[in-house]
Structure 1
Amino acid sequence: MNDDKLLEEFESYLKALNRSPKTIRSYVCNSVRFITWLHARDIESVLNVSWQDFQRYQRWLAKQNQYSPASIDIYLRAVRALFKYLENHNILHGNPAEVLPLPKLPKVLPRNVLTEREVEDLLNAPDRQTDEGMLYKAIFALAYNSGLRISDVLNIKVNDIDTAGGRLFIRQGKGSKDAVLPIGDNCKLWIRAYRDIVRPKLVAKSKKPSDRFFLGAMRGNPINEHVLQRKIKEYALKAGIKKPVRFHSLRHAFATHLLNNDADILHVKDMLRHERLETTQRYTHVTISDLKKEHRRYHPRERDE
């Protein structure tokens, strides 16, 4: 079996696992990158790769100045996924990539986290007298209420929202995991208003009915990632927020604000759907303004006379 055929079957395998389109593109493209590197060194097939070849590839990536440790991590994870597929389907006996070490990534704290007031201003920025404003009010409110990823929002279907029970069902989220998240009373008001008043109008605009919950205001088609990222930046600008804002900013704010208000970190971990507690602990940081206040309050040379 040639490498092109292997890649086709690898892509089908990822789709069968319900991996997101973004993950599939990343794994396939970065597997192609590895195979191209092999061919340039007269290694005709991935089936002929040795452990030493993986070491050489890793060293080569590290020497390329344009690749950050995070990028190298992504490239190597794709290769490991490819060889796991080859082993699981008995195309290879043994997996030489299984112990391929990944680069140690620096711990990066979330930056430019929105304050509670800034989130409030952002949620109030959409014009609730318009269908589009009600749509984005509902989206932003739900994302902040439940700490959602943008992919979660895009994939919510009508039957995934239970306003009576205050529950949101996430189907096949990141890592192909299902989850049930709470919907607060305030958020339920905006979800119901969008569902009962606005969404029927958007459905009437669409030429192709969809069971996706959030539909675009112009044509009633399922909303997409590009539009969401553009709209949240527009509304952040309207709200007078000076920080850079992207859709994930609401998830960062959700986690930070819960922990700042003494929520149990294990409960926050579950709501964020993190595998490791260490990932959630990134949000236990304090702001520099908090540090300055404490320094001014307690340092013997700074206390008021």
Structure 2
Amino acid sequence: MKKNKELAICFKDYLTGCGFKKDTIRMNIYVVNKFMEFIKKNMVEVVENDILEFHKKLSKEEVRVCIKYSLASIRMMMLCLNRFFRFLYRYEYILRNPMINYIIKKGIEKKKEIFSVDEINSFLNMISIDTIYGERDRAYFELMYSSGLRVGEELSLNITDINLSERVVAIRQGKFNKDRIVPFSSVAFEFLKIYIENGRKELLKTVNGEDNKALFISNQGRLKPVSIRLRFRKYLKLSGIEREGLSLHSIRHSTATHLLECGASVRYVQELLGHEDIQTTVRYTHLMIENLKKAYKQTHPRENKYYEEVTEEYLNCLELLKEEIKKREEINRRYPPSKYNEKRKLKKKN
């Protein structure tokens, strides 16, 4: 019977052999180790109740001060754990899978927030290229918006993957292990050229080893996801965009939606973004329709004539009207109209 640490190593080798990405393998092993530390028993002895207790622990655990794991994060970790136990059962390291009856509920899909054209322009223009880090960040975000790249795809780029003369970038082993070549805009070209010829050369002076092949680097090596997310939040705050729900991935969503709004075919956007299923791309048309409805209500003269936004003044008038109706009802109760109508009829007869 193998020890827990040995099982984790075997699982890691299995994931590597299946062709999973490094980040995916790292996440799976992190969850497995977390479960092993919590349960403190050999995997052969794990039962259904242990899985439920671990789920409860994740629901209560704080990632940071007063911030708990989201439902999506908990679901993802339970999926990783489920993969681990399926592996153990398949290769007969355990006799029974304790998660065989465990149902992993699909979370409610959050509404995708996107930047408007004005907002994305404001965000990008806020990034000054007065420093080598500014040159790098402007090139990074311009390329992301231009080509709709995923965070991991862009950070994995090497200098040899960029072809400035043809204005194309080669994405190697993207999601689903697929390669693709995508174009980028003339604006992205200008900022990439500035960064490659100036900022990157300066940063390379402190970078050694394999990381000097990376396109986007810091003074410590290849740029990390956590660093670029912090830079994103910084520039978002500087640009004055305070809308909730916007994330680094929103730039990719915005690329797709803006292209569709300008008449690009769904098939083209699918190829650009590297979606395996076209239905994934079709979802962006819903965002486009919502934006169309908003624009219609704001600009169409026939719509504006009959559509007014509820204001504070309107609500105050509504409250006064309610009070007036109550007064009228009280008067009618005390002095019923039917009684006085009979008196009026008698007077007319006389």
| Cα distance in 2 between the residues matched to 1:297 and 1:4 | 69
| Cα distance in 2 between the residues matched to 1:253 and 1:120 | 12
Q: Who is 1:104 aligned against?
A: 106
What amino acid is the match of 2:298? K
Structure 2 residue ranges without an equivalent (≥5): 61-68, 309-350
Is the Cα contact below 8 Å between 1:296 and 1:302 reproduced in 2?
Answer: no
Q: 1:172-200: CA deviations, max 9, x gaps? A: 23344333222233322222222223322
Q: 1:293 aligns with which of 294, 298, 302?
A: 298
| Cα distance in 1 between the residues matched to 2:92 and 2:172 | 30
| Cα distance in 2 between the residues matched to 1:98 and 1:262 | 47
| Cα distance in 1 between the residues matched to 2:215 and 2:57 | 46
Matches within 5 A, 1:19-30: 19-30=20-31
| Cα distance in 1 between the residues matched to 2:279 and 2:117 | 24
Matches within 5 A, 1:232-251: 232-244=232-244, 245-251=246-252
Structure 1 residue ranges without an equivalent (≥5): none
Query: Once the 2 structures are TM-superposed, how far is the Cα of residue 125 of structure 1 from its aligned partner?
Result: 1.7
Query: Once the 2 structures are TM-superposed, how far is the Cα of residue 108 of structure 1 from its aligned partner?
Result: 1.9
Is the Cα contact below 8 Å between 1:168 and 1:181 reproduced in 2?
Answer: yes
TM-score under structure 2 length normalisation: 0.69
Query: Once the 2 structures are TM-superposed, how far is the Cα of residue 157 of structure 1 from its aligned partner?
Result: 0.6
**C-alpha RMSD over aligned residues:** 3.5
Matches within 5 A, 1:138-153: 138-153=139-154
What amino acid is the match of 1:169? A
| Cα distance in 1 between the residues matched to 2:101 and 2:279 | 23
Is the Cα contact below 8 Å between 2:297 and 2:307 reproduced in 1?
Answer: no
Q: Who is 2:72 aligned against?
A: 70
Q: 1:251-303: CA deviations, max 9, x gaps? A: 12112212222322233233222334443343222147336437974488449
Matches within 5 A, 1:248-267: 248-267=249-268
Q: 1:16-50: CA deviations, max 9, x gaps? A: 555444422321232345556766xxxx6435668
Q: In the alignment, is residue 79 of structure 1 matched against residue 81 of structure 2?
A: yes
Partner SS for 1:230: helix
What amino acid is the match of 1:153? E
Q: 1:25-78: CA deviations, max 9, x gaps? A: 321232345556766xxxx6435668xx39x83698379854754234213321
Q: Who is 1:230 aligned against?
A: 230
The total of aligned residue pairs comes to 293
User: Is the alpha carbon distance of 1:88 and 1:158 closer, same or farther for their aligned partners in structure 2, counting shifts above 3 Å?
Assistant: farther
What amino acid is the match of 2:201? P
Query: Once the 2 structures are TM-superposed, how far is the Cα of residue 136 of structure 1 from its aligned partner?
Result: 1.4
What amino acid is the match of 2:161? D
Q: Who is 1:191 aligned against?
A: 192
Q: Who is 1:171 aligned against?
A: 172
Q: 1:97-149: CA deviations, max 9, x gaps? A: 678643122232112x2111111122222223432222111111101111122
User: Is the alpha carbon distance of 1:80 and 1:65 closer, same or farther for their aligned partners in structure 2, counting shifts above 3 Å?
Assistant: closer
| Cα distance in 2 between the residues matched to 1:228 and 1:71 | 20
Partner SS for 1:210: helix
What amino acid is the match of 1:259? L
Is the Cα contact below 8 Å between 2:51 and 2:99 reproduced in 1?
Answer: no
What amino acid is the match of 1:230? L
| Cα distance in 2 between the residues matched to 1:157 and 1:151 | 12
Q: Who is 2:43 aligned against?
A: 46
User: Is the alpha carbon distance of 1:297 and 1:184 closer, same or farther for their aligned partners in structure 2, counting shifts above 3 Å?
Assistant: same
Query: Once the 2 structures are TM-superposed, how far is the Cα of residue 87 of structure 1 from its aligned partner?
Result: 5.8
More helix by percentage: 2
User: Is the alpha carbon distance of 1:294 and 1:123 closer, same or farther for their aligned partners in structure 2, counting shifts above 3 Å?
Assistant: closer
Is the Cα contact below 8 Å between 1:166 and 1:183 reproduced in 2?
Answer: yes
